[in-house]
Structures are given as C-alpha cells and as structure tokens.
Structure 1
C-alpha cells in the first residue's frame, strides 16, 4: 500500500480502538436511523409518483374518451348507436345512421344486382374455352 493509505488506515484504526461502546451505539443509531428514514422517504416518494402517474393516465383517458364521443358532423362513417333522446344531436345522429344504412343497402343491392342464382353469366366465359 501507499504511504497515504497506510496513514489513513492507521488513523481510523486508532479512532476505532479509542471508541467505547457508547460511541458505537451512537454510530449504529445514526446509521440505522438514516437507512430507515431513507427507505421510508423513498417509498413515500414512489407512492406519490405512482399516484401522480395514475391521475395523469386518468386525465389522458378522459380526454381521449371525450374526443371520441364528441359528434363530428363531417365524419359520417363513425355513426354509433347511443341512448335514445329527443334533442337536436339525436335527430342528426339518427338521420346520419339512416343515411349510412341506406348507403350500405344500395351498395349491397349493386353487388347482388348482376348475380342471379339461375343465370350462368358469370361462368359463361369459363365455359367457352
């Protein structure tokens, strides 16, 4: 070891030898109290941080939910069934749902219009070969 390290070790050994049991008890109480308070403080800070994160997540979820629930008149594809009411929003929503239903019905008719189960028009080109 170097001379500085030896001096340091000798100094600390001399101090430890000169301590009586009262000094050791005092040292143990101070170190133990520090460790105890440190653990308690870190646990409480973790609880506060978790509570703040949960609150933030709730706020974000509510904001997202409120954005999803707000009626968007230009967005006709997102009409959903909701509770029945008599207000202006409900009448608009019902009208939009009826329009979507009619559009879907017309599209289904167009798809099925050329497909008669008795006609072989769809397989005629395959039969010619």
Structure 2
C-alpha cells in the first residue's frame, strides 16, 4: 500500500514539474504553433468524423450484403413453402424423365397431391377475390350519400 502511495506522489510531482516547465519555456512562436494546431484540429475534426463514419457505413453495408448472400445460399425448407408448381395432369411419365431426388410415388398418390394443391390454390384465390370485393364495396360505400 505504501508503494502505491509513493507511485502516486511521484507521478503527481513529475506532472506538475513538467507542466510548469512547459509553460515557463513557452515562447510566442510556440504559443502560436499550439494555437494553429489546436485550431486546425477543431476545424478538421467534424470532417474527419464524417469521413470515418462514411467509411464505416460502407464497410458495414458490404458486410451485411455478404451476410445476406450467404443466407440466400442456404435455403431452408420453410422458405420454399408456397412456391409450389402444379404438375401437369399427365399420368404417363417416363422413368427416364423422373427426378431422382423426389419420392417415388404411384399414379394415384401423384393425382391426389395435384388435386390437393389445386384445391388449396383455388381456396386461396377465392379468399383473395372476396377480400378484393369487400374492399371495393367499402370504397363504393364511402361515396354513397346517406339520407
């Protein structure tokens, strides 16, 4: 504990001695030089901060673009939902044209799957049509005069 106290007093003495010596040795040329340096710093500091912020923003945008590209490269099954293509009603499919990555379904299963997808899409289209009609009715009601 005593060593810490000695260290603090030594540092305090050195700082005060050096500061006093710097001020007593200050000539008009050195004073003008300090004023010029401090003034230039105060004038240029906002521009330097803006420049640094712009550079930081560009690097952040590049990093986010890189992260988005990596995220797009990894597609999860949830992202593929709703982007289904309805296959044609052809029951005669060649084994050579069948995709190797898909399940090997029978004709009835494929037909049931097509019908289910069509029903879902028709129901969604009907719901959208009804919503559109309701919106149109609301727009028309807005212009009707009530007496």
TM-score in terms of structure 1 length:
0.43
Q: Which has the higher contact order (CA 8 A, sep 6+)?
A: 2
TM-score in terms of structure 2 length:
0.39
